[in-house]
Amino acid sequence: YMPIQERLNSEARTLVHVGMPVPTAIARLNSAHFTCDPAVGGLTCSRIRQRLLPSSCMERINLTQDTAAFAVMSIDPRPIVCAGL
């Protein structure tokens, strides 16, 4: 695994769209091995990617939601963070 931010950005745009129902967005992100947790104003979805080196990287996508319509209002792929021994 190579942490390439543009690849995460592209994957986020492919998986989730503004206006998409939140349950659909969660299901699509779960199918890509993201785990979504509630956050203020939306959701934080993350997954851990293992590298060949003794390290791993966290990929995160923050979603804000329209609580009245229960739809995704914005998609924010966060910078990939890697840590190791």
pLDDT by 10s per residue, the chain, length 85: 889 999 999 999 999 999 999 999 999 999 999 999 998 888 999 999 988 778 899 999 999 999 888 999 999 999 999 997 5
- Count the alpha carbons within 13 Å of 28 in the hemisphere toward its beta carbon: 16
pLDDT at 53: 74
Residue tagged 């997954």 (tokens): 47
Which pLDDT score, from 0 to 100, does residue 22 have?
95
Predicted local confidence at residue 69, as pLDDT: 83
Q: Which residue has the tokens 């299901």?
A: 27
Tell me the two tokens of residue 24.
């659909």
Q: Write down the pLDDT at residue 85.
A: 59
